Amino acid sequence: MKKNFKKVNAAILVIGNEILSGRTQDLNVSFISKWLNDRNGIAVKEVRVIPDNEKKIIKTTNDLRKNYKYVFTTGGIGPTHDDITSKSISKVFKVKYEYHPEAFKILERYYGKKKFNDGRKKMSKMPKGSKLIYNPSSAAPGFKIKNVFCLPGVPSILKSMIHNCSIYLKKGLKTHSDSINLITVESNISKELEKIQKKFRREIDIGSYPFFRLGRVGVSIVLRSQKKHKIQLCKKEILKNIVKKKKIKKV
């Protein structure tokens, strides 16, 4: 029996003053986006970056969770005073912020009772009713409540645990992509590319990205669609009506 996959979308909410200040470079957005599409057929449609501010976290999370199937937050679930994501998400759903019994036991075993201080205990506090996202790297779990998934900001830890989100996700249609690299400038192909985009507007997104490589100026045309055969048809159209007609060199 053929599975009836549908379009499923998501948003990513990056939380952290260190990202906005430039002290820390975000490496999570591209990883999460690729993982969601490649493994689950879920398309990320929006990304926001906000500070460690309770009101901002509550408002932004509410905005996103109402407009997208899933919301993934990164950052702010550690042991320090400025890690306020868990408490803020509790207020989003208007539930108690409390110790999760299983998370508490996991961390107590990991650190040992003598070293299990208040900061480490804090990492087991989350919204009441949360489901755990297990962490094989440093024990402290993330959590899911409704359609919001809360993950750590440290890239290596996030990567080690994100696959544990899969059990909570409804799979969608994977977005395929292909590209054509041309030695030309965007203005030279813009009119023709616009016509082709209009022809395939319901099935394909066409992106045009200039590049400079090894002393050569060029344009990378990227085709994205959930219908792989449509990408091939669009690609033929570009090769015929732009590359061949204008005698443009491919690389």
Q: Is 180 helix (H, G, I), strand (E, B) or coil?
A: strand
- Rounded-to-integer distance, Cα 170 and Cα 62, Å: 21
Q: Which two tokens stand for residue 248?
A: 């443009």
Quick one: tokens of 77?
């679930």
In whole angstroms, give the CA distance from residue 29 to residue 154: 12
- For residues 226 and 174, is the Cβ–Cβ distance under 8 A? yes
Q: Could you tell me where the beta strands, DSSP code E, fall in 57-163? A: 70-74, 97-99, 125-127, 131-135, 139-145, 148-151
How many CB atoms sit inside 10 A of residue 44's CB?
21
Q: Which domains, and CATH codes, for the chain?
A: 8-168 (3.40.980.10), 176-250 (3.30.70)
Q: What angle do CA 130, 135, 137 make, to 5 degrees?
A: 160
Residue corresponding to tokens 């989003």: 92
User: Among 8, 152, 18, 150, which residue's Cα sits nearest to residue 75?
Assistant: 152
Structure tokens belonging to residue 200: 């395939």
User: At 222, which helix (H) or strand (E)?
Assistant: strand 216-225
Q: Output the six-digit token pair for 60.
A: 């932004």
What's the Cα-to-Cα distance from 113 to each of 72, 106, 126, 215, 235, rounded to whole Å? Answer: 32, 11, 20, 61, 62
Q: Would you state the structure tokens that stand for residue 208, as one six-digit string?
A: 């045009």
| pLDDT confidence of residue 173 | 85
Question: Which pair of tokens denotes residue 32?
Answer: 């999460």
- Residues 10-28 as b/e (b if ≥16 CB within 10 A, e otherwise) read bbbbbbbeebeeeeeebeb
Q: Tens-digit pLDDT profile for the chain (251 aa)?
A: 344 456 899 999 999 999 999 999 999 999 999 999 999 999 999 999 999 999 999 999 999 999 999 999 999 999 999 999 999 999 999 999 999 999 999 999 999 999 999 999 999 999 999 999 999 999 999 999 999 999 999 999 999 999 999 999 999 988 899 999 999 999 999 999 999 999 999 899 999 999 998 888 999 999 999 899 999 999 999 999 999 999 999 98
